[in-house]
Structures are given as structure tokens and as C-alpha cells.
Amino acid sequence: MTVVRSQLTLEFGSKAQVDAGERPGTTSSEHAEIRKLKREVSELRRGNNILKSASAFFAAELDRPVTK
């Protein structure tokens, strides 16, 4: 338990130093922005895949001969 508490204290201390610009590293706000942007990229990729599938479907429909 003491080891865990010591580790957490070190991690929070290090994070605070990074946030204050005293140590190199990714700040908490930068980390949050990166997570947000990764989520956005994932959503955009999913949307692009849906659009690719839809365009392939409609392109196949246009290539079919018209029968009456």
C-alpha cells in the first residue's frame, strides 16, 4: 500500500511539474487535446468508410443495364 501511494505521489508530482513547464513532456491539456483529436480522426475515418461503401454501391447501380 505504501509503495502504491509513493508511486502515485511521484506520478502526480511529475505530472504537475510537466504542466508547470518545469519538466519536458506532454502536459495534461495537450494529452486531452490529443485524445480528442484521435477520437475525431476515428469518427472521420468511419464516415469516410461509409461514404466509400455508399459510392461503390451507387456506382454499381449506375453500371447495370436498364431493362424495360
pLDDT in tens, 22-46: 888 889 999 999 999 999 999 999 9
What number of CA atoms fall less than 13 Å from residue 9's CA on the CB side? Answer: 6
List the grid coordinates of 68.
424495360
Domain-wise residue ranges, the chain: 2-63
Q: Residue 17 has what pLDDT?
A: 86
Per-residue pLDDT at 21 exceeds 80: yes
Burial 3-34 (b: 16+ CB within 10 A, else e): eeeeeeeeeeeebeebbeeeeeeeeeeeeeee
Q: What is the pTM of this model?
A: 0.64
